[in-house]
Structure 1
Amino acid sequence: MQQAWRTTDDELLVALADAQRRVNEASAAMVPLVAEAATRGLAEQKAFRDVPDLLRTVQNVSRPTAKARLRAAEQLSPLYLITGRQADPELPVLAAAFAQAEVSAEHVRVIQSVLAAVPPHLDAHRAPLEADLVEHARVLDPDAVAKLGKRALALLDPDGPRPRDPRPTRNRLTLRPQGSGVEARGWFDAESAAVLRTALSPLTVPVPSVEGAEDATRDERSTAERNGDGLVELARRTIGSGALGTEATQPVQVTVTVPIETLTSREGGALLGFGDGGLAGAIEAEAALRLACDARVVPIVLASTGEPLFLGREQRFANRAQRRALAQRDGGCAFPGCDVPPQWCIAHHIVFWGHGGCTDLPNLVLLCGHHHTVIHKGEWTVEIDGGFPVFHPPPWVPGGPRRNVLHRPDLVGRIPEQGRVPQRC
């Protein structure tokens, strides 16, 4: 391969994907080797405690890695019976995908973990669950597959395992002086926690960092910090007004003044803050186009002569009924692998509103702030296929078109006879 610094951006990204595939191939090639070493009893012959101990020395890896490789060999290698016949491996679908380098060793560990958590009374769901998780692992990263598996298990077994230790049965909240502040600790039952999370949700949305920063979409606060800020804001609103505000009732406070040429050519600049009390700042065309999709921003589009063409149009934004329909259809951010809930998402126009796109459900898709920016970069595209959003990646992302299944775990791991729905991608 040519030197990395000589490649174009797309060539470099394709090379990265190819390199990962070679890593997958090497990982898969170890499965029969580890299985054979275990079958021959080499660990005992060479005076090692067990097979993982042997692998630690031979391959210079940690014990957890060695144990994971042995477990993969035990479940993905064909079984040889005493009669000499060969039987399918314990996880045949995962074994086939791993052998073809379609999934990584991390995917293998995640799927094994999910399947190990299937309770005995749901054994009939194990094979469909394996097949579905492997299918989605071809285009979702291991973290997303782990979330999907956890949610599928929760729906297949809503009662879950019995708690090992006694749990509190009444809501509790303790405020204890700690340093210069107060430490809060508590416990809430599931229903109360749902009520609290619902009330906190509009107050804990990740907010952009200081305008002009290198990463203007990132909220540096942790989830715990955002929850803390949200709880304080909830108390302030309750004390001040006697009622909680919701995301839908927040006033539009930001304006972006965009020349019509910027919308049509995607070049030039725009101005933030026209008429909002002095919060003004120049932004590039890309940022202006992204903000023009945000329902919290009023677009002021100027003709070439400078006069306003329109000051925002109510029909440009998804109305409340459309938001409910989008939440039902997409479940949250529709970008593959994203689990951001619908109340934190923007109703994005697939054909940009500035390019003549309509505010109709077939032209809308829910996106979180981060993936809204990704789509506006222009390398990913989205379309509605079969009534659901399907995303097409750039050439350097392997796997082809895909859709987000994290918001629909009810479709994963179902027995075919009970109405299992095949995925389109």
Structure 2
Amino acid sequence: MDLSGVVERVEHVARTRAAAATTADAGDTALALQLARAGMVAIRETRAWLAAAEAELTRVVRRVDAFPEQTIAADTKGSMGAAGALLDTAGVLDDAPAVADALDDAVITDEYVTIVTRASRSVPARLRSEFLRECEALMPTAASMTRTQFRRRVREICNRLLAHDGLERLERQRRATSLRSWTDDDGMLNLKGRFDPVTGAHLHAVLEHTVQQLFAETVPTTCPEHPIEKQAHLRALALVRLVTGGGLVDAGETRNDADARPMPVPSGGRVGTDLLVVIDATQTNGAGGPLVDWGIPVEVPVEVLADLIGDAESNVDLDIVVVRNGIVLHAPGKLDLGRSSRLANRAQRRALRALYATCAIPNCHVHVNRCKFHHIVWWEHGGQTDLHNLLPVCANHHARIHADNWNITLGPHRELTITLPDNTVMATGPPARQAA
């Protein structure tokens, strides 16, 4: 994109910004939405050009400055870590000119470049050039991909290149496991950690189960009202309880779920992890058999996965769920509770995680592990806590459903239809768990 194209887009944003608001005030909601969307597209394209320009200037600073991180942090009013990330991105764009051109032409956004940059860190130096060449080959079709689809394609490239490098990679990840802390300007203690995938899988499971156990029924009075901030607050309190063994968190009542296996809040020692293995008979693995997801949220070598499952001391519980075309063919536990419990039990949560990768609302990428389980026929309207009446939705969309009275229906294969208050209809086919 040349400078005239950038100027044209900025002028377009300025025009639509005023026109959209005026049109909305006049009651022409369709035209207001059209103008607002056009303005947001222009903003996205302008941001992409600015990101490309920033990366090019970063490369210049890196070439001529003895301490580029400090200079970039000062000029951008950001942190040294953010400056380091800019330098990493600039390095990727330097070595992958097709990706740089796609960003400059607004074919992709800086978020797509970030996906490539982060993935490149897991690739050994000897494979980096090949990895970037394959990412460059994605650029002609990247414009038609969502961010999630693009991330999946990049992950597939990594997996293929690292197919024979799994154990070596895991050892690198174990050596790179770290946790640091600092106090920010508000006097708040901050923690930032990176964990190898095996440790991370255990940690993630324990933290999410602890949140469910402590806050399924009630939440502390300190909890923010914003749904996303609320979940972040609860995870922080759950971490405090895990580390301290209790006493610092006023959790209120805990869940009373007869079908759930107790998940004790630990004061030390090993804690078990549920490994959800999903056999998806709708999709194939390339060899004609069903696709199997072994339940680790990040890549783990096959040898390590086998050790995890076979080691009695690893405390890994294997749960197998079979799904096909939006239907649960097999899942352990009781899947229909009727009116005996308002809360989804462990078996229902497990089955829904097998069907969905993310929030069920179209184009929402919040992981299913961070979702609530909404009654399609609301509980207060007589709805039952049965699997066919439950839908995983993120905290933000769960609040919207109730506040704005969205009308939601499910078909026989969990085809989703959402009718909004303005009669806009969103519809999807059966859930595709592998889409995320």
- Interval containing the TM-score (normalised by the shorter chain): 0.3 to 0.5
Higher helix share: 2
Higher alpha-carbon Rg: 1
* Higher relative contact order (Cα pairs below 8 Å, separated by 6+ residues): 1
Normalised by the size of structure 2, how large is the TM-score?
0.43
TM-score scaled by length of structure 1:
0.43
